[in-house]
Amino acid sequence: MPYTPAIPSPATSMPPGVSDTGFVGNVERYALENHTHASKARKGLSAQASNVGTFTWVYPVPFGAGVVPICNGIAQTATGITDLINVQIDGAPTNTQCVFRITRYSQSFLSLLGINILGFNTAPIPITLHMLALEP
């Protein structure tokens, strides 16, 4: 009688997320054609037309319970804006959100002494916040 290999069954759970190191695997099941892998990253853009304040970013998909992601934010302004924009994380990120503190400083030059002087500017400018959260 000829040998007939067993046909593996399809997977019945979501495939694991993309990992930093990779893994060969050891379960003989096949993946269904339309499967997806969960991302370990959350990305976002937010228009923040303000000089100072906080912005709470709620991730589009929460991380797993107890996961504290590594977050960062970078401010984008229009070409020609010379003000300095500081973005910092306000408090500890959670698995569902991160709060960014945005501070804007005007930069003017004191040419006689050759030093920079920083001060607050009150006229609002458009600031776009680029945000990234990564599962550790």
- For the cut 70, the answer to whether the pLDDT of residue 1 exceeds it is no
DSSP H/E element including 110: strand 97-110
Alpha-carbon span 134 to 94, nearest angstrom = 12
CATH number of 40-134: 2.60.40.2080
Per cent of the chain over pLDDT 90 is 40
Alpha-carbon span 69 to 116, nearest angstrom = 36
CA 91 to chain centre: 16
What local confidence, expressed as pLDDT, does residue 115 receive?
A: 60
Q: In sequence order, what E strands does 41-83 have?
A: 41-47, 53-58, 70-76
Q: Tell which wins on pLDDT, 53 or 5.
A: 53
Of the pLDDT bands very low, low, confident and very high (cuts 50, 70, 90), residue 3 is: confident
What local confidence, expressed as pLDDT, does residue 111 receive?
A: 43
What is the DSSP pairing of strand 41-47 with strand 53-58? unpaired
